[in-house]
Chains A and B, each alone.
Chain A
Amino acid sequence: MAAKLAIAVPAKGRLKDTAAALFERAGLALRKTGHERGYSGVVHGLDGVKVAFLSAAEIVHQLKAGRVHIGLTGEDLIRETLPDVEGSVEFLRPLGFGRADVVVAVPDCWIDVARMADLEDVAAQFARVHGRRLRVATKYLNLTRRFFARAGVAGYRIVESVGATEGTPAAGTAELIVDITTTGTTLAANHLKVLEDGLILQSQAHLFAARGAEWTKSTMRLRDAILDQLSSAAKEVGD
Chain B
Amino acid sequence: MAAESVRKFEALEAQAAILLDVFKRGGFEQVAPSIIQPADIFLDQIGEAIRGRTYVFTDLTGEELCLRPDLTVPVSRLYLERHPRADVEARYCYNGPAFRFQQKGASQTHPREFRQAGIECFGVADRDNADAEVVLLVADAVRSAGLKQFRFRFGDIALFFALLDALSLPERWRLKLRHYFWRPPAFHTLLSRLAKGEAPDSDGPVAEFAATLAAQTPSRAEELVANYLETNDLPLSGNRTMSEITERLLDHAADLRAEPLPREVATVIDYYLAVEASPREAIDRIALIGQGAGIDLGPALYVLYRRFDLLEERGINVDAASFATEFGRDLEYYSGLVFQIEVTGDKTSPIAGGGRYDGLLRSVGARAEVPAVGSAIHTERLLAAVKGLS
- Chain A positions near chain B (C-beta within 8 angstroms): 107-114, 120-133, 145, 148, 152, 154-158, 169-170, 172, 175, 191
Q: Find out whether the CB atom of A111 lies under 8 angstroms from the CB atom of B237.
A: no
B residues in contact with A120, CB < 8 Å: 179-180, 183, 186
Q: Find out whether the CB atom of A191 lies under 8 angstroms from the CB atom of B245.
A: no
Q: Find out whether the CB atom of B240 lies under 8 angstroms from the CB atom of A110.
A: yes
B residues in contact with A131, CB < 8 Å: 362-363
A residues in contact with B186, CB < 8 Å: 120, 152, 154
In the assembled complex, the CB of A155 is this many whole angstroms from the nearest CB of chain B, namely: 7
Q: Find out whether the CB atom of B252 lies under 8 angstroms from the CB atom of A133.
A: no
Task: Judge if B228 is at the interface, Cβ distance under 8 Å.
Answer: yes
Query: Per-residue CB proximity of B168-187 to A under 8 Å, as 1/0?
Result: 00000001100110110110
Q: Find out whether the CB atom of A126 lies under 8 angstroms from the CB atom of B47.
A: no
A residues in contact with B52, CB < 8 Å: 145
In the assembled complex, the CB of B365 is this many whole angstroms from the nearest CB of chain A, namely: 11
Further pairs besides A122-B248, A152-B183: 14, Cβ < 8 Å: A109-B229, A109-B234, A110-B240, A112-B206, A120-B186, A122-B240, A124-B175, A130-B239, A133-B44, A154-B49, A155-B179, A157-B44, A157-B48, A170-B238
Q: Find out whether the CB atom of B48 lies under 8 angstroms from the CB atom of A156.
A: yes
Partner among B204, B238, B247 whose Cβ is within 8 Å of the Cβ of A107: B238
A residues in contact with B229, CB < 8 Å: 109, 111
Once bound together, how far apart are the Cα atoms of A133 and B210, in whole Å?
26
Query: Per-residue CB proximity of B250-263 to A under 8 Å, as 1/0?
Result: 00100000000000
Q: Find out whether the CB atom of A158 lies under 8 angstroms from the CB atom of B48.
A: yes
A residues in contact with B51, CB < 8 Å: 157-158
Once bound together, how far apart are the Cα atoms of A50 and B102, in whole Å?
38
Task: Please classify how large the interface on chain B is, using the bins under 10, 10 to 19, 20 to 34, 35 or more.
Answer: 35 or more
Partner among A111, A112, A133, A152 whose Cβ is within 8 Å of the Cβ of B47: A133
Once bound together, how far apart are the Cα atoms of A202 and B109, in whole Å?
40
Once bound together, how far apart are the Cα atoms of A127 and B186, in whole Å?
18
A residues in contact with B209, CB < 8 Å: 111
In the assembled complex, the CB of A152 is this many whole angstroms from the nearest CB of chain B, namely: 4
- Per the 8 Å Cβ criterion, residues 229-246 of B in contact with A are 229, 234-241, 244-245
B residues in contact with A132, CB < 8 Å: 44, 363
Q: Find out whether the CB atom of A114 lies under 8 angstroms from the CB atom of B47.
A: no
- Between A and B, 25 residue pairs with Cβ closer than 8 Å are A109-B245, A111-B225, A112-B210, A112-B248, A112-B249, A114-B204, A124-B176, A124-B180, A125-B247, A126-B240, A128-B175, A129-B244, A130-B239, A132-B44, A132-B363, A145-B52, A148-B48, A152-B189, A154-B49, A154-B182, A155-B47, A157-B48, A157-B51, A172-B238, A172-B239
B residues in contact with A108, CB < 8 Å: 234
Q: Find out whether the CB atom of B183 lies under 8 angstroms from the CB atom of A154.
A: yes
Once bound together, how far apart are the Cα atoms of A125 and B176, in whole Å?
9
Once bound together, how far apart are the Cα atoms of A124 and B244, in whole Å?
11
Task: Judge if B73 is at the interface, Cβ distance under 8 Å.
Answer: no
A residues in contact with B179, CB < 8 Å: 120, 123-124, 127, 155
In the assembled complex, the CB of B369 is this many whole angstroms from the nearest CB of chain A, namely: 12
Partner among A111, A127, A130, A154 whose Cβ is within 8 Å of the Cβ of B249: A111
Once bound together, how far apart are the Cα atoms of A127 and B363, in whole Å?
11
In the complex, what residue of chain B is closest to A106 when comparing beta carbons? Answer: B238
- Per the 8 Å Cβ criterion, residues 184-198 of B in contact with A are 185-186, 189
Task: Judge if B43 is at the interface, Cβ distance under 8 Å.
Answer: yes
Q: Find out whether the CB atom of A191 lies under 8 angstroms from the CB atom of B235.
A: yes
